[in-house]
Chain A
Amino acid sequence: MSLLRLDDLSLAIHGKPILSGVAFDIAGGEIFGLVGESGSGKSMTALAVMGLLPSGATTSGRAEFMGRDLLTLPERALTGLRGNEIGMIFQEPMTALNPMKTIGDQVAETLLIHRAASRAEARDVAREKLARVGLPEDRFPLSRYPHELSGGQRQRVAIAMAIALRPKLLIADEPTTALDVTTQAQILDLLKGLTGDEGMALMLITHDLAVVAGMAARVAVMQNGRIVEQGATETLFRTRTQDYTRRLFAASAHQPQRRAQTRPETLLSVEGAVREYILPRPSPFAKPPVLRAVDGVSLTIRRGESLGLVGESGCGKSTLTRAILGLDPIQGGTIRLDGQEVTPGHTMPHDLRAKMQVVFQDPYGSFNPRHRVERLVAEPFHLTGQPKDARDRVAAALEEVGLSPADMGKYIHEFSGGQRQRIAIARALIIRPDLIVLDEAVSALDVRVRAQVLDLLARLQESHGLAYLFISHDLSVVRSITDRVLVMKAGRIVEEGATEAVFARPEHPYTQRLIAATPVIPAAWQDSA
């Protein structure tokens, strides 16, 4: 007998179809994976089960939970189920908790709202559940506020809240996507342990095939609001009967075709770079403490080389990047680009800045929404002077990144995330820089789009002799696109070497830990199809 049974579930929001004929079963205590790209309808399926769909949504079909159809239950009955029988955690742990309330109160609230315990009992349960998710009271008192915790710790609090009443079903919507790989491994471990101990079923929603491979007994693949294929995880991964599943697999293991083309001349050299932040004084007369975010880092990039920089959040890689780009001053060491010293702020000469361009992570936030694409792409010309054929060059750059010159007249909101990232690359290319800094440039993209953008980057590197500084927390991406890699931890470079060598034989324990924590699809499952 299944715990949750979706039968021909369809959903439209303001008449626009979002889900059609979604059907699957989740048995009590099982881990069920729901994979698909963004916009495939995974999250909407979860929200339909929770009864938390946005306004304007109309549903048809059935969503039976322990024999009751969730789609027809009145709101009163649903509030009785949510948090009690069905718990849910979300992707963004940084914003998922109320910043004004202590973690103890927030966990206890789950019990109080369902009148499952008195105030004192609720606190005891909160204490016990927080300890269960790895936040014991002696180190993490109940009186802590969310802002005093890291992303991984906040996700643990969210889990404690969701499991406080021992729900029969936990829905986890991309629970580890925003987390570092070692933290991801811990959270996945915790979720797996909880399903075992509490006999709770887990519906794990993710875009990451490797995460599902290591967790779920059964899996469903979604595309455009439909279930493309479902079955036991290993069988499905081995057989891949559907074309879409095959393409998804190919994209997630994609290796762009590229030839090393490093030339001997040094392009960028960083020597002993130090970046310090002054922290607030603990008392009015004390000396302010100093945080060393970048602690004596040295590196070189040669012309035409692709260098990877990996590390977890907070390791200093973004701070280092800002210093290299001349956006922040450094307190020690030197940074030279093509022999000329990089100075921060307005004193950096235009011709020097024109040699180096950047593509950031967020394809949504890095464009002025009021400018047309032509102006956006032509922006770096202020460094070199507006050429007479600016329009033609914008058109050429757009064609180079796989867009059409006709896109010049459009605004940025008319493009998808992948297209926006192509426009960002066109903007970086237009003044023919020597070095492009790619700061998590493909991290926000779906696997298939990411594979295409990686191909594009490989092709452009070859045709223009570009050097890349590729910064990412995603090891597999770095492995596929770089010649050499640096591993950064707590402001220092702990390991450096040819990419393949480092990944095949990591020497530093930290690198070994990172690689071990990265989820992979078992090699044996991959060849059989």
Chain B
Amino acid sequence: MTRYLFRRLISLALSLVVASLVIFAVIEVVPGDPASYMLGLNAKPETVAALKDQLGLNAPAPVRYLNWITGMVQGDFGLSYTYKTPVSQLVIQRLAVSLPLALYALALAVLVAFPAGLMAAARRGKVADAAVMGATQVGIALPNFWFAMLLVLAFALHWQIFPAGGFPGWDQGLWPGLRALTLPAIALALPQAAILARVLRSALIETLGQDYIRTARAKGLTGGQTLLRHGLRNALIPVLTIMGMQFSFLLAGAIIIENVFYLPGLGRLIFQAITQRDLIVVESVVMILVFAVILVTFLVDLAYAAIDPRLRKRA
């Protein structure tokens, strides 16, 4: 087990190094000069040059790369050109919205997907299965921003249970924050729940064809007991893989939903940074996202080993 952990950690570190190099290289070749962007069209060339010097943009690439990396390791992500505030502060503010939103959406997706997937697998080929399959088809096909607008119409305008948009901040208390995130989380969770339910159903159905399921039935377990005690755990590996990918997507990929609900999330931050050539913000946020994805993958790997004794042993 320690060996498994050790190897995973090494591969995690290597992935981070490679990713940082790629991000740095891409930013290098992207057209657009932050200094001239910040000073506007009428700036004198000398002023631009002076600013570039001040920002450290004239140093050779390897030096800038090392400065960037050592800064990040110490928690210094640099200064945003446009906001004139430390990037780390920006990111923390945005993560305070995006991270709870992603977790909220994923939790909702799991709460819907597991019962639906289990029921469909237990009654495969029957009406309940067809209903789940049909509903998930719709869930995948619906554009979630459109579904988000329907939610606003129903729960914010007609019934006025949840706010239509905006985020009050966590300092207003837990409940107002959660209320503001509920509709976006539902909108985000819908397609994820549909995908997850389908993956769980097909993984369970494959598992139910295994010999050890027949053995369990021969021991006297009912169909339902067999499904929960012997089927579910064996079917979890593909489900966990998908959940890991979904979480990573939800963290930064919620930009459309953030726009629909005027949420100050990471997705919007990075979108604005790109349009304003705020490259320091772009590279730092992308790097943080890469780190998050790699960390999630690592956690998923640990979960695999916790579930499957064969993986623990191989290590």
Contact = CB atoms under 8 A, between A and B. Distances in A.
Nearest to A88: B218
B220 A280 contact: no
A291 to B, nearest CB: 15
A87 interface: yes
Given A99-B234, A148-B313, A83 B218 contact: yes
B217 A82 contact: yes
B54 interface: no
Given A83-B220, A145-B309, A100 B211 contact: no
Nearest to B215: A96
A166 B230 CA distance: 23
B222 A79 contact: yes
Interface residues of B, number: 27
A100 B233 contact: yes
* Residue in B215, B229, B309 whose Cβ sees the most chain A Cβ within 10 Å: B215
B211 A92 contact: yes
B219 A161 contact: yes
Nearest to A171: B218
* Residue in A55, A75, A95, A98 whose Cβ sees the most chain B Cβ within 10 Å: A98
Given A79-B220, A99-B310, A158 B6 contact: no
A354 B310 CA distance: 40
Interface residues of A, number: 36
B220 A284 contact: no
B211 A96 contact: yes
* Residue in B219, B230, B233, B309 whose Cβ sees the most chain A Cβ within 10 Å: B219
Contacts, number: 83
Contact of B314 (A50, A96, A98, A280): A280
Contact of B225 (A113, A147, A148): A113
A97 interface: yes
B212 A97 contact: yes
A110 B211 contact: no
Given A75-B222, A79-B221, A145-B313, A90 B216 contact: no
Interface in B221-247: 221-222, 225, 229-230, 233-234
Given A100-B234, A113-B225, A283-B3, A161 B220 contact: no
A99 B308 contact: yes
B210 A95 contact: yes
A64 interface: no
Contacts of A81: 220
Interface string B293-313: 000000000000001111001
Interface in B22-74: none
Contacts of A100: 233-234, 307-309
Contacts of A79: 220-222
Contacts of A90: 211, 214-215, 218
A81 B219 CA distance: 9
A155 to B, nearest CB: 11
A59 to B, nearest CB: 17
A52 interface: yes
Which label, helix, strand, loop or mixed, suits the secondary structure of the B interface? helix
A165 to B, nearest CB: 9
A109 B221 CA distance: 9
A205 to B, nearest CB: 14
B309 A82 contact: no
Interface in A82-110: 82-84, 87-90, 92, 95-101, 109-110
A147 B310 contact: yes
A327 B312 CA distance: 31
Contacts of B230: 98, 101
A114 interface: yes
Given A95-B212, A98-B234, A99-B309, A80 B6 contact: no
A162 interface: yes
Interface in A413-430: none
A114 B220 contact: yes
A323 to B, nearest CB: 25
Contacts of A280: 314-315
A201 B74 CA distance: 74
B219 A110 contact: yes
A83 B216 CA distance: 9
B220 A113 contact: yes
A460 B315 CA distance: 49
Nearest to B219: A83
Interface in A45-90: 50, 52, 55, 75, 79-84, 87-90
A88 B211 CA distance: 12
Nearest to B211: A95
* Residue in B216, B225, B234, B308 whose Cβ sees the most chain A Cβ within 10 Å: B216
A284 B2 CA distance: 10
Contacts of B3: 281, 283-284
Contacts of B217: 50, 52, 82
Contact of A98 (B212, B222, B225): B212
A360 to B, nearest CB: 22
B197 to A, nearest CB: 22
Nearest first, the 3 closest Cβ-Cβ pairs linking A and B are A83-B220, A83-B219, A95-B211
21 contacts: A50-B217, A80-B220, A82-B218, A82-B219, A82-B220, A83-B221, A90-B218, A96-B214, A97-B212, A98-B215, A98-B230, A98-B234, A100-B308, A145-B310, A145-B313, A158-B215, A161-B215, A161-B219, A162-B219, A280-B314, A284-B6
Given A101-B230, A284-B6, 5 more contacts: A83-B218, A98-B216, A110-B220, A113-B225, A162-B218
